[in-house]
Structure 1
Amino acid sequence: MNRVLVIGPLLILLSCGGDAPAPQRQQGGHVWRDPQLIDENTRAVAREDADIDRYLRRQGVDMERSPTGVRHKLLRDVPGPVARPGQRAEVAFRVELLDGRVCYASEAGTTASFIVEEDHVESGLHEGIQLMSPGDSAVLVIPSYRAHGLVGDMEKIPMRST
């Protein structure tokens, strides 16, 4: 039985300034990797990580950093079990870029829902939601490679924006 998790207001900041991880090309059954692309993407991830750190320092915000680079800060921590894969999460949210532009937000009094680790939402959101229990409120800063990557979402989240 899937339990429904209702997560309080969730602010998600996306840093869309970095490149996605290096693409792999298939040719004749072989996987080819371009070392130059891998090196550039490694540098881009490091630059984006530094940009996020500078942003957080300017804002005076201290956040936990996961091994994948997703930052999180619980604003309201309600005791209880955290979300697990396969559970439905319901969130009130606001997505904004590091420059403050709001890209998406849930309507007042409404939520969006998704199945943890199954639905097609940002991988950084799947990661962050699993740090929260029902009723929690948090801020997540999700690097581009765990959100919309190099091209943005082709609607409101621009390509290579921060």
Structure 2
Amino acid sequence: MKNKLLFLFGILFLMSCTTSKPRRPINPKPSTTIFQDNIEATKKIFELEESEILEFIKKDTTKLYETSSSGFWYTYNTKIEEKLAMPKTGDVVRFEYDIKDLNDSVLYSKAILGVKNYKVDKEDFISGIQKGIKLMKIGETITFVIPSYNAFGISGDGNKIGINKTIKSTVTLLNIN
């Protein structure tokens, strides 16, 4: 009886010491070349948009455009020189705006968009305008030239603004609360 138990434990011991083969995933991870291709395509889109914007600015000799650190360009239509308060995070601002393409075709007029109340940095809105509003004083009007990555991106708006399209928006800040 003792021999049988010893024999049984020995077989169990030998079976437990066998090495098992590692299992391979059924769906292997995508190769890094797909990600590299996406990065390269994004860089090309960025460069193309930037060259279109710079060409537009070069042709518009009547205005002086400034570059923001947030990745858009802007020019003052009405600038107030006196030292006034500017919107900061949490303020509720009231403004009117339009949206055009770089050929000055109106996509959405001020009449259609109406007056917008917006809580600064607390609501989802066009990224370039969100950042641009913080540069404004009450009564100022600024035209923003916003590349797609700061506007409607790779999806557009599903209506008048296509994918990867640069937009222009003229914004007038009416009030800050």
Q: What TM-score, normalized by structure 1, do the two folds share?
A: 0.73
Query: Secondary structure, in 3 states, of the residue corresponding to 2:98?
Result: strand
Change in 2 beyond 3 A, CA 1:57/1:147: same
Q: Report if aligned partners of 2:126, 2:152 keep a CA contact under 8 Å in 1.
A: yes
What stretches of structure 1 of length at least 5 have no aligned partner? 1-26
135, 139, 142: which one aligns with 1:135: 139
Query: Secondary structure, in 3 states, of the residue corresponding to 1:42?
Result: helix
Q: What TM-score, normalized by structure 2, do the two folds share?
A: 0.67
Q: Report if aligned partners of 1:106, 1:112 keep a CA contact under 8 Å in 2.
A: no
Q: Distance in 2 between matches of 1:59 and 1:89?
A: 30
Aligned to 1:66: 68
Higher helix content, 1 or 2 = 2
Q: Report if aligned partners of 2:78, 2:140 keep a CA contact under 8 Å in 1.
A: yes
Q: Distance in 1 between matches of 2:41 and 2:130?
A: 27
Letter in 2 for 1:127: K
1 or 2 for the larger relative contact order (CA 8 Å, sep ≥6)?
A: 1
Identity between Structure 1 and Structure 2 (%)? 23
Q: Distance in 2 between matches of 1:148 and 1:104?
A: 14
RMSD after superposition: 2.3
Q: Which runs of 4+ in 1 moved over 6 A?
A: none
1:36-75 equivalences under 5 Å are 36-60=37-61, 61-75=63-77
Give the total of aligned pairs. 132
Q: CA shift at 1:51, angstroms?
A: 0.6
Query: Secondary structure, in 3 states, of the residue corresponding to 1:34?
Result: helix
Q: CA shift at 1:161, angstroms?
A: 4.1
Residues 130-149 of structure 1 deviation map (CA, whole Å, 9 limit, x = unaligned): 10011111111111000001
